[in-house]
Amino acid sequence: MTDPTTYISHLELGQPDKTYLDTSELILNMGPQHPATHGVLRVILKLDGEKVLGTECVIGYLHRGVEKIAENRTYAMFNPYVDRMDYVAAISNGLGYCEAVEKLLNVEAPPRARYIRVILTELNRLASHMVWLGTHALDIGAMTPLFYTFRDREEILKIFEKYCGARLTTHAFRIGGCQYETYEGFEKDVKNFLAFVPPKIDEYEELLTTNRIWVERTRNVGKISGPDCIALGVTGPVLRASGVKWDIRKAKPYSGYQEFDFEIPTGENGDTYDRYIVRMKEMRQSLRIIQQAIDRLPSGPIMAKVGKVIKPPVGEIYHSIEAPKGELGYYIVSDGSTQPYRVRVRPPSFVNLQALDLMVRGQLVADVIAVIGTFDIVLGEVDR
Amino acid sequence: MPWDSPLVSKLKSRHGSGVREASTYLGQNYLVLDPSVTREVLQILRDEEQFDYCVDITAVHYPKREKQFDLVWILYSFPKNERMRVKTMIADGESFASAVSIWPTANWLEREVFDMFGIKFDGHPDLKRILLPDGWEGYPLRKDYGITQQDQKWVQINLGIQSGQ
């Protein structure tokens, strides 16, 4: 195997602090099997005592060659694979892919399909943020939120299961719309959920927002400025917590998001605490969107006219959506055959993770855990 | 459809034949540039045209063409709320100037292009494989790399699997 020390050869390392004690630099290998790295992320840390001097991420342990698989499948056959990238928010992945192919085909999903998509995608955003909150809090040492969030996420997964039979990798959408009509009682279930979850979110906030330990562990930890975020391509809640008011749902609306009234929460400091606050506010905004969509759910067909064989004309398209983690883009090149010539996935987790080094330099080892958690990365998406 | 905008005419007046094509397809604008001017144009796009966010860098392999690779930059401008693509064609074995000094995010993106296509970027601070292990042979997203193909030797040595699969 490769010697871990060879990886860090390029790092420009600061000098150890010689003020108090004569210390020497230490290389610590965190992961890939580590409960707080959310999968198989390996981070090589260069330390001076507890202080981080530099990091190097080693990724690819979960690489399955999704983009290569796409070139050998038809457009419809590749659809279930995208669910397996960000498996915590599988529905968002499917939405991005289906919309990209629809654009390439120049068709649009009918209004009812778009509304169903919005409802399920926003429910999925909530589920994704709940997983993030539970695991992030667990990493920092608060165990209770994990049980609370997973308990409430169960209600969302029940709706998914009733809708399409699957809970996690749902494959809920088809190119051109949705395959399934909503089940009987769907509206009632969603409305019950909308009444059920706001007090639960209050509950999470009660546990954490003013909790002294939580605040101490997250305030001023992993700070990043707005311009740095843009330069590093960081998107999603991390970007918004640094004060940049940018959300693709507003900037480049897709799937009818322009028809809904919602706000983009932003933070000021760009630290871990602000990112927590931004995500908590986003959960409430998602509820607002679901409420509007379920109230106005139109009737009509759920599939656009798409042939049995999907054969887009020669051309290429880049389409991106606001996934729970940030900008999720699909760049698809069609050569006019039934199989895509090239599918490139622009994963938010992969690009966001690049900012880890900047955010943890000069901080403590324990903060690395907090920062990895605050990114909300899913390694299935980083490695693809 | 041709793409007409002040940006395109400015680039055309500066770089002339370096701008090979400026088109709009399905409402998305893209430029096809000559490799000799591409690096310079990317710099101009960020410095003067406010394309401050490099969304993605990727490549497409066309084995039958003389210049086998399309290199693609997807750019976004926060002030203008505008997206565009820049494309250029390079031959196998040719390297390209790195964009890390323009957008730091290009670091990992270029490493991935190198990992998957074997395109080298000059001036990249740390060009090595990112998703595949160091020492892996071959570039999987090239069209001549089979879908079941593996670096059998690497698997045998590092994972101890005799069949190499």
pLDDT in tens, A120-179: 999 999 999 999 999 988 888 888 888 999 999 999 999 999 998 888 888 888 888 888
Answer yes or no: do B56 and A331 touch at CB < 8 A: yes
B81 reaches A (C-beta below 8 A) = yes
A104 vs A13, more confident: A104
B1 reaches A (C-beta below 8 A) = no
How far apart are alpha carbons A370 and A274 in whole angstroms? 13
pLDDT of residue A17: 55
How far apart are alpha carbons A129 and A153 in whole angstroms? 9
What's the whole-number mean pLDDT along residues A302-328?
A: 88
B149-162: burial string, b at 16+ Cβ within 10 Å, e else: ebbeebbeeeeeee
pLDDT of residue A16: 56
B52, B108, B143: residue with CB nearest A350: B108
- Residue A176: CA atoms inside 13 Å, Cβ hemisphere, count? 16
User: Does the pLDDT value for residue A50 go beyond 80?
Assistant: yes
pLDDT (tens digit per residue) in A231-279 = 888 998 999 999 888 989 888 888 888 888 888 998 888 889 999 999 9
Q: How far is B162 from chain A (nearest CA, A)?
A: 16
pLDDT of residue A2: 46
A343 reaches B (C-beta below 8 A) = no
What's the whole-number mean pLDDT along residues B8-15?
A: 78
pLDDT of residue A18: 55
Answer yes or no: do B131 and A354 touch at CB < 8 A: no
What's the whole-number mean pLDDT along residues A206-228?
A: 87
A323 reaches B (C-beta below 8 A) = no
pLDDT of residue A6: 47
pLDDT of residue A19: 58
B136 reaches A (C-beta below 8 A) = no
Nearest to B47 by CA among B27, B24, B9, B75: B75
User: Does the pLDDT value for residue A7 go beyond 60?
Assistant: no
3-class DSSP assignment, residue B59: strand
DSSP codes, A300-363: S-SB----SS--PPSEEEEEEEEETTEEEEEEEEE-SSSS-SEEEEE-HHHHHHTTHHHHHTTS
- How far apart, in Å, are the Cα atoms of A203 and each of A116, A123, A266, B56, B61? 28, 19, 22, 39, 52
Answer yes or no: do B28 and A317 touch at CB < 8 A: yes
Answer yes or no: do B53 and A251 touch at CB < 8 A: no
pLDDT of residue A8: 46
A59 reaches B (C-beta below 8 A) = yes
User: Does the pLDDT value for residue A1 go beyond 80?
Assistant: no
pLDDT of residue A219: 87
pLDDT of residue A259: 87
User: Does the pLDDT value for residue A5 go beyond 60?
Assistant: no
Q: How far is B29 from chain A (nearest CA, A)?
A: 10
Answer yes or no: do B55 and A329 touch at CB < 8 A: yes
- How far apart, in Å, are the Cα atoms of B143 and each of A64, A68, B60, B140, B165? 17, 9, 9, 8, 20
pLDDT of residue A23: 65
A230 reaches B (C-beta below 8 A) = yes
What's the whole-number mean pLDDT along residues B6-28?
A: 80
- Lowest average pLDDT, out of A48-52, A200-204, B71-75, B81-85, goes to A48-52
